[in-house]
Chains A and B, each alone.
Chain A
Amino acid sequence: MAEVREDLRYQSSHEWVRLEEDGTVTVGISDHAQDALGDVVFVELPEVGQSVNAGDDIAVVESVKAASDIYAPIAGQVIACNDRLESEPETVNESPFDDGWFFKLEVTGPNALASLLTAEAYADLCASEEAD
C-alpha cells in the first residue's frame, strides 16, 4: 500500500502540494504515482521565473513505462526547480515526498489550496485505483 502523507494536499492527477511556512508551495508526485509509473528515467522541469496557471502541464516525468505530464496545482510563478532530478531521476522513486520534489511556486493569485484533495480523499482515490 502506497504512503499518503497527512500534512499534504493532492491533485487527482497524483501530484502532492505542500504549503511552506513562507507561503510558497512545493510540488512533487505521490508515492502511489511513482509506484504506478515504475522506474523514473527522465524528468523535464519548468523554467525558473515562468508564470503558470492552475492546471497547466509544466513538467514531464518519463518512466520505463510511459511519459506523464505534471500539472501546476495553483496559479503562480516558478521560483525553484529540483535540478537533482536531471542527473538522478531515480530520486523520484526513492524519495517521492522529500528529495524527489519537482518545483516550488510563489502563489500569485488567491490561495486555492483548499480546493485540492485532502489526504483522506486522495487515499480513497488511490484505493479505488488499486482495486481496478
Chain B
Amino acid sequence: MKQTRLAPNHLAAGGKMVDFSGWEMPLHYGSQMDEHHAVRQSVGMFDVSHMSVVDVQGRDSAPYLQKLLANDVARLKAPGRALYSAMLNPTGGVKDDLIVYRLALGYRLVVNCGTRDKDLAWMRVCSSGFEVEILERSELALIAVQGPESLNLLDAILEPHQQSLLAGLAPFEGGFAGDWFLARTGYTGELGVEVMLPNAAAEGLWTALMAAGVRPIGLGARDTLRLEAGMNLYGQDMDESHSPLSSNLEWTLKHNGRDFIGEAAVLEMKASEASSALIGLVMLGRGVLRAHYPVYAQDILVGEITSGAFSPTLQAGIGFARVKPWEGPLSVEIRGKRQAVEPVSLPFVRRGQKVYEKVIAET
C-alpha cells in the first residue's frame, strides 16, 4: 500500500489504519464520534495527501479546461479564485469531481485518489490539439485544518508572510506563500483551510498543529462531516453511469455555448424524460441509514440510498438517495422493515447548525 509522508505520525497518534483506494490511511484515532464533534465545535486536521494535485500550464490552459470541465474556469476572475466542477465522459457520466484554482500562470486541480490514474489518462487524451502541460505534483502533501477555530489556530503557528496571505483570503480562494499554497476550501461545511506544501515540510506543520491542540481526524469522521455538509463522495454518490442531473450536480453545470465534454448528452437527457434526483433523507425514528438500502414511496420501489450514516450533529439517521419521481410518503427498508424518512433540502448541517428544511414538493 502507498503511504503519505505522515504515516508514522498517524501511527504515533493511535491511528487505526485501513486500505483506502490503495493508500494506507487512518480511519479514526480512537473515536470517530469525538473527532466529528471536534471539527463541528472547535478544530481538527486531516491528512489528505493521498489526493492528487495536478497543475495545468501553457498557452491553451483556459480553453482546454473549458472543454474538459462542466463548470467554466472563465468564471475565475482573478488568480487564487476556485470553483468546484465535474469532469464528464462523452455520454454525460461523471468521471470525477474536483476543485480547480486559477493560478497566476495556469490552473491547479485537486482530484480524487481512487480516480487518479484514469483522470490523468483522460486529461492527456483530451489535451490533443491544445498547447498545455499537465503536471502531477506528487511532491506535495495536503493538510486540511477545519472547524470554527481553524483560522485562529493555524494563524498562531504560521510565519508572518503566511499569516498575511491567510488574512487576505476570501472563502474559496487560495494563494502562494513561498512554496506553500493556502486555500480557504474544505470538505466539512465548516470554516477551514487546506494547505498544500512540500512533503518535506508536512511533518513540521502537522507536529506544530498537534502541539497547538489540533486533533487529527480520520476518514470515518471525514465521511460523516461531508455527508452532513451535503457534499457528494465520488464512487458512492457519483459515477460514470450517472449524469450530473441525477447526482445533485446540476448547479455546477455552466451552459454557455462552449461545448464541454458530455454537454450534448446531458442536454439531451434534460430535454427527455425526468431523470432521477439525488436528495437528502432524514429518518423520523431511531436508526441508521446505509448505502444501498432500498427506498419506497408507499409500496413502489423508487431508488436506493447512495451514502448513509448516523449524523452525530443531528443525532438521527441521514443519507443521500437517488430516487425516481415519486408520490406520497417515503420509507427505507432496513432489515426487512419499512422505516419512515423525510425528504429534505441539502445540506443537513452548515457551520455546526442544522440548516435543512423539509422538501415539500414531490418531484
- Give the size range of A's interface with the partner: 10 to 19
Chain B residues near A64: list those with CB within 8 A. 32-33, 220, 224, 309-310
- Interface bits A35-77 vs B (CB < 8 Å: 1, else 0): 0001101101000000000000000101011010000000000
Please report the C-alpha to C-alpha distance between residue A67 and residue B291 in the assembled complex, in whole angstroms. 12
From known contacts A38-B32, A38-B220, A60-B335, infer whether A67 and B288 are also in contact, taking CB-CB under 8 Å. Answer: yes
* B9, CB-defined interface residue at 8 Å: no
* B31, CB-defined interface residue at 8 Å: yes
Q: Name the residue of chain A whose CB is nearest to the CB of B334.
A: A67
Interface positions of B from 255 to 297, Cβ below 8 Å from A: 286-288, 290
A62–B287 contact, CB under 8 A? yes
Chain A residues near B40: list those with CB within 8 A. none
From known contacts A64-B220, A64-B224, A64-B310, infer whether A42 and B33 are also in contact, taking CB-CB under 8 Å. Answer: no
A-B CB proximity, top 9 nearest: A41-B310, A39-B33, A62-B288, A64-B32, A42-B288, A39-B32, A42-B287, A39-B31, A38-B32
Chain B residues near A86: list those with CB within 8 A. 286
From known contacts A60-B335, A62-B310, A64-B310, infer whether A42 and B220 are also in contact, taking CB-CB under 8 Å. Answer: no
Q: Name the residue of chain A whose CB is nearest to the CB of B287.
A: A42
Please report the C-alpha to C-alpha distance between residue A74 and residue B220 in the assembled complex, in whole angstroms. 35
Smallest CB separation, A86 vs chain B (Å): 7
* B28, CB-defined interface residue at 8 Å: yes
Smallest CB separation, A120 vs chain B (Å): 27
Smallest CB separation, A127 vs chain B (Å): 18
From known contacts A38-B32, A39-B31, A41-B310, infer whether A65 and B220 are also in contact, taking CB-CB under 8 Å. Answer: yes
Other 5 A-B pairs with CB < 8 A, given A38-B32, A64-B310? A42-B310, A62-B310, A67-B290, A67-B335, A90-B33
From known contacts A60-B335, A64-B309, A64-B310, infer whether A38 and B287 are also in contact, taking CB-CB under 8 Å. Answer: no
